Structure 1
């Protein structure tokens, strides 16, 4: 329950960001997407990455997320898939969980929440980027 409240608060905080802050988040998300997601989902997000033909379950076309959800980008669902809370299956096993991959390697007593917040910020940045590549 605590995680859901925190995620909701985080989403509300991002929703109130200025357009410039959202653009910066999307730019960061684009770089993260290219580093972590494009190999499977393709540079354009259409599921045609270099690794796609090696997978037993084809990666979805990420540009159709809003279209397949009555025209509304499913932000919370996307966040849960990226950070691993949904148990999404791919290539015969779980999709890589990027919530942990995005955590800082230097957590410590002076910054006990920094690693978690950094990870969630990166997940949000990728989700905001995905929102920008939705097909009309």
Structure 2
């Protein structure tokens, strides 16, 4: 990924996280939303639709994260989601690994803690948030 695009993503994430209303601490979904805004929204959009401000500069459009449940079921399989977020399994659509692989940074934020299935605390919270934004018209497994 081009350094200028990556720098823009960090700047946008920082600005968005500051401008968001404070969410209740201690709630995994609220914490996950905060991390999502900081690390994911610049590409995937504030609502997870794949329409973030950086999306237009990417050769492959970001995925709509609201439709993950269509493919993987609800609740989302935490281990599978973690593999995509931390880079163990970069989606083919990203080809040249255009998607930033946040694993190292997110595990660092969680003080290196890895819970069930090797999922870090921060990634687990992002997944908890992603579960709340799935299109509810799909079948829940």
Whether TM-score is above 0.5 comes out as: yes
Measured after TM superposition, the shift of residue 91 of structure 1 is: 7.5
Alignment partners' CA distance in 2, 1:29 and 1:83: 15
- Contact map agreement 2:84 2:91 (CA 8 A) in 1: yes
- Contact map agreement 1:66 1:134 (CA 8 A) in 2: yes
Q: Report the number of matched residues.
A: 106
Gaps in structure 1 of 5+ consecutive residues: 1-22, 106-113
- Contact map agreement 1:64 1:134 (CA 8 A) in 2: yes
Matched, 1:115 2:111: yes
- Contact map agreement 2:50 2:61 (CA 8 A) in 1: yes
For residue 106 of structure 2, the aligned residue among 73, 82, 102 is: 102
Q: Which residue of 1 aligns with 2:71?
A: 68
- Contact map agreement 1:56 1:92 (CA 8 A) in 2: no
Q: Structure 1 91/55 Cα, relative in aligned 2: closer, same or farther at 3 Å?
A: farther
Measured after TM superposition, the shift of residue 94 of structure 1 is: 4.4
Alignment partners' CA distance in 1, 2:106 and 2:65: 20
- Contact map agreement 2:74 2:131 (CA 8 A) in 1: no
**Higher Cα Rg, which structure:** 1
- Contact map agreement 1:28 1:126 (CA 8 A) in 2: yes
Q: Structure 1 26/71 Cα, relative in aligned 2: closer, same or farther at 3 Å?
A: closer
Gaps in structure 2 of 5+ consecutive residues: 1-25, 137-141
Alignment partners' CA distance in 1, 2:105 and 2:27: 21
- Contact map agreement 2:76 2:127 (CA 8 A) in 1: no
Measured after TM superposition, the shift of residue 77 of structure 1 is: 1.3
Q: Which residue of 1 aligns with 2:3?
A: none
TM-score, with length taken from structure 1: 0.68
Alignment partners' CA distance in 2, 1:124 and 1:71: 15
